[in-house]
Structure 1
Amino acid sequence: MTAHSPSRPPSRSSRNRRSGSRSRSSSSSSSRGSSPEESGVVDSGDSPGVQSGRGPGLWQKVKTRYPLVDFHALPEYLRDNEYILSHYRADWPLRETILSIFSIHNETLNIWTHLIGFFLFLGLTIYTVWQMPRVEYPTLTRISTFPMFTDLNKLHSEIMACFPPIPPFVPSLFGLQPSIPEVSMPSTNNPQCIVRTIRQDLGRLMAPLMRKPATRWPFFVFLGGAMFCLLTSSTCHLLCCHSSRLSYFLWRLDYAGIAAMIATSFFPPVYYTFLCHPKWRNFYLTGISMIGVLTVLVSLTPLLQKPKYRPLRALLFFGMGVSGVIPGVHKLFSHRHEPVTLTTTTYEVFMGMFYALGAIFYATRIPERWKPGRFDLAGHSHQIFHVLVVAGAYTHYRAALLYIEWRDTHGCD
């Protein structure tokens, strides 16, 4: 008889090999059965496979865990432009959302067009502060109050005391040359007549230097409003994909920034145009400020974002526009003989054209509506709108400089 030994159960290692083989084959078949297009995930172009060296970087991990998606895979709160079909971020954690400022998606240029604009106006603000007149000319005011000196040596010392603060303007003193023949005339042999003649000529020569420069605070109000608008816009486009709650708040803040920029942009033209008419100046600035503050508060109030309050919001934005147009028309009539009026109005017309053209692109969603998906990353309407807003704000900055130069040189003469 042959003795049969009992069969032994398979070892643990062989069971593991067989189960591993089955799991690999099932995962392989499932990966072959679904594609990124079917799941709504956009391939970012970098394979998350095994890498040599130090392994995947931080952004590589972000792209692997939080891929870009198509429009049809978006949550409802992110569905805004149906003509942009791909490269969306959706419900990303805050840390990864912030890091996406350095990556490529359909909001990248929306972020950077206004972020660059913010730094542009920050630089212009610093430049303006640096270039502000810092030299006061208190000694020049003494020229117009000279007593009737009989001692010409004392008069000479008084005149020379004015020179140290104004070395760049010393060559202009040659303008006194036409007065020399008058001094040598017999009728002016009286020392008092000589002093009077020199005093009058010096006063006329130094009058522009004795005028204090116009105040700059309206100009800085405009720059602050522009920077606030550009920064809130960039922040909104960067973080709005984090959650519906944050997105809702950021879009309200974006509208508040727009209202602030519109209201503050009227400060330089109104203040400097009506500098010598304080009643009109205060009336216009008070009205603009009240409408601007009210519009910002309405934009930030959740209750007033309901559809039934849409006419109120539209009326406030319309009121801000009208509150700036009326002083402009007033300027054309009251200062029509000033050369600066035509120049600044030309700048303001170009500013309005930039803003109006940007609004047309924003409302019509051109060019992406003509070729959906073609302009997902670059060239769509909102990016063009951002560029035109920065161009309009810079044009207004140039106009404000002309207002300041005008008031620095002419004052309220």
Structure 2
Amino acid sequence: MMPRVSFAVPSPSLPSLPATVRDVDVPPLFRERFILSGYRPVGLSWRCYALSVFQIHNETLNVWSHLLAAACMTLRFTAFAVLGGGGVLGFRLLGPEGPGFSLDVSSLPLVLYVLSAVTYLSCSAAAHLFQSHSEEAHYSLFFLDYVGVAVYQYGAALALGLYSSDSTWTQSIVGQVQVFLPAAAFLAWLSCATCCYAKLHFRRTFPLHRKLCQLVPMAVAYLLDISPVAHRLATHRWSSSPALTLHFLQVALFLLSAFFFSCPIPERFFPGRFDIVGHGHQIFHFLLSLCTLVQQEALFHDFLWRRPALLRTFTEERLLLACTSFPFLTLCCVVTALAMRRRARQQLTKEQT
């Protein structure tokens, strides 16, 4: 009798994810005020946290809101680039002398803006997805999150200052490129540094000056970055451009998101009721994602409006210098985050001994 041979291919087994736990079951570092349940256990494998993107816990919507926003931004920009013609991505397939590549400097700030927005959304999603792995991972990932925020701040300032400004603002003291962009870069780095410092230095329960340490530099940076838009909204009829209505909407969405970032509402009044859906940080994520998508649409309009005259206004050399400052700022923020990560390691090692 011939032996029976099985050709069945074993199906890969996914690790079963442990159930979520209450706030008292995780170290204080991982707890959020007024959020009493829905926490993932600390110390699981990286794979478990990656798979927890499909699990219901108190970070699920924080992750998905920014992941979906990053995907929408990428798809929308790709569609705009294709439908908008050659050069939108920064390169032309057809140059004046025939087929080839030629750098289109006027579109590079738009490319850097989209890159910065996708970066901050992705870094935020990664931080909220993996931060429960360990205390060191928690600090490291949120430092990465702050780098993403700083990069986005400067990417937005670069695009808004070049595409969304009018001649009156660009001729003012603040609006001059050699003043506006260095100030925006410094404030973006300062926001990253102070957020990293506040995250490491202040412990739960957080004092008020911890929140101020985070919010004040970011608020000053936002006021500067949005100044070209604020000037246009104050001095132009909104019917003159569809971008102005979009700009007003993105400002309103940002201010509303800042409120929910600053205040743990509604969970403050109903502890435990909004653990999975509806707490303040989730609302902040949702509103900020909408703000970024609306801002991108406004910049598409402004890009098409300003592109023909951009090189005459700013010159190719100044545009290139402005764009090359983007990776320099990114490097400064990464170095700052790495330095703070080293301090976090030292602090954790000291506490364990």
- The answer to whether TM tops 0.5 is yes
**Does 2:179 match 1:280?**
no
Residue 118 of structure 1 pairs with residue 70 of structure 2: yes
Q: Does 1:73 align with 2:25?
A: yes
Report deviation, 1:343: 3.9
Which consecutive residues of structure 1, in runs of 5 or more, have no partner in the other structure?
A: 1-53, 140-211
Q: In the alignment, does 2:140 pair up with 1:244?
A: no
Alignment partners' CA distance in 2, 1:373 and 1:59:
28
* Aligned CA distance change for structure 1 residues 79 and 350 (closer, same or farther; 3 Å): same
1:253-332 correspondence runs (5 A): 253-273=144-164, 280-300=176-196, 305-307=200-202, 313-331=214-232
Which residue of 41, 51, 65 corresponds with 1:99? 51
Q: Hey, what's the Cα distance between the residues in 2 that align with 1:338 and 1:389?
A: 23
- RMSD of the alignment, in Å? 3.6
**Match of 1:129, as an amino acid?**
A
Instruction: Answer whether contact 1:222 1:264 (CA < 8 A) is retained.
Output: yes
CA distance in 2, matches of 1:317, 1:383: 19
Q: CA deviation at 1:311?
A: 5.8
1:213 CA displacement: 8.3
CA distance in 2, matches of 1:383, 1:397: 21
What's the offset of the Cα at 1:251? 1.7
Listed one character per residue, the Cα deviations across residues 135-178 of structure 1 (whole Å, up to 9, x for unaligned) are: 86959xxxxxxxxxxxxxxxxxxxxxxxxxxxxxxxxxxxxxxx
Q: Quote the offset at 1:394 in angstroms.
A: 0.8
Corresponding residue for residue 398 of structure 1: 297
Q: Deviations over 1:268-300 (max 9, x none)?
A: 221124587698234322321232234334545
Identify the match of residue 368 of structure 1 among 243, 267, 276: 267
* d(CA) in 2 for partners of 1:392, 1:130: 24
Q: Residue 266 of structure 1: SS of its match in structure 2?
A: helix
Percentage identity across paired residues of the two chains:
23
Pairwise mapping of residues 12-411 of structure 1 onto structure 2 (< 5 A)?
57-60=13-16, 62-63=17-18, 67-134=19-86, 215-273=106-164, 280-300=176-196, 305-307=200-202, 313-331=214-232, 336=236, 340=240, 343-408=242-307
CA contact (8 A) 1:214 1:408 kept: no
Moved more, 219-228 or 290-299: 290-299
Secondary structure of residue in 2 paired with 1:238 = helix
In the TM superposition, residue 102 of structure 1 has moved relative to its aligned partner by: 2.0
User: Displacement, 1:88?
Assistant: 3.5
> What residue ranges of structure 2 are gaps of 5+ in the alignment?
1-9, 87-91, 98-102, 203-208, 314-353
Give, in whole Å, the separation in 2 of the partners of 1:409 and 1:216. 11
* Rounded Cα–Cα distance in structure 1 between residues aligned with 2:35 and 2:211: 25
Moved more, 78-87 or 107-116: 78-87
> Whose relative contact order is higher, 1 or 2, with alpha carbons under 8 Å and at least 6 apart?
2
Specify whether residues 128 and 214 from structure 1 end up closer, same or farther in structure 2 by C-alpha distance, changes over 3 A only.
farther
Aligned length: 283
Q: Are 1:114 and 1:230, in contact at CA under 8 Å, matched by a contact in 2?
A: yes
- 2:34, 2:267 within 8 Å by CA — same for their partners in 1? no
- C-alpha spacing 1:310/1:375, structure 2 compared with 1 (3 Å): closer
* Residue of structure 1 in register with 2:7 after alignment: none
Q: 1:299 to 1:400 in 2, by over 3 A?
A: same
- The higher radius of gyration belongs to 1
CA–CA separation in structure 1 for the residues paired with 2:199 and 2:40: 29
Identify if the C-alpha distance between structure 1 residues 396 and 83 changes in structure 2 by more than 3 Å, giving closer, same or farther. Answer: same
Q: Distance in 1 between matches of 2:199 and 2:74?
A: 33
Q: How far 1:59 sits from its partner (Å)? A: 3.4
Q: Give the structure-2-normalised TM-score.
A: 0.68
Distance 2:57 2:28 in 1: 19
Over 3 Å counting, the alpha-carbon distance change for 1:399 and 1:59 in structure 2 is same
**Cα distance change on mapping 1:68 and 1:354 into 2, 3 Å:** same
Partner letter of residue 371 of structure 1? F
Question: Please, what TM-score do these two structures have when normalized by structure 1?
Answer: 0.59
| Gap change, CA 1:404 and 1:114, over 3 Å in 2 | same
Gap change, CA 1:359 and 1:332, over 3 Å in 2: closer
Give 1:133 shift: 2.9
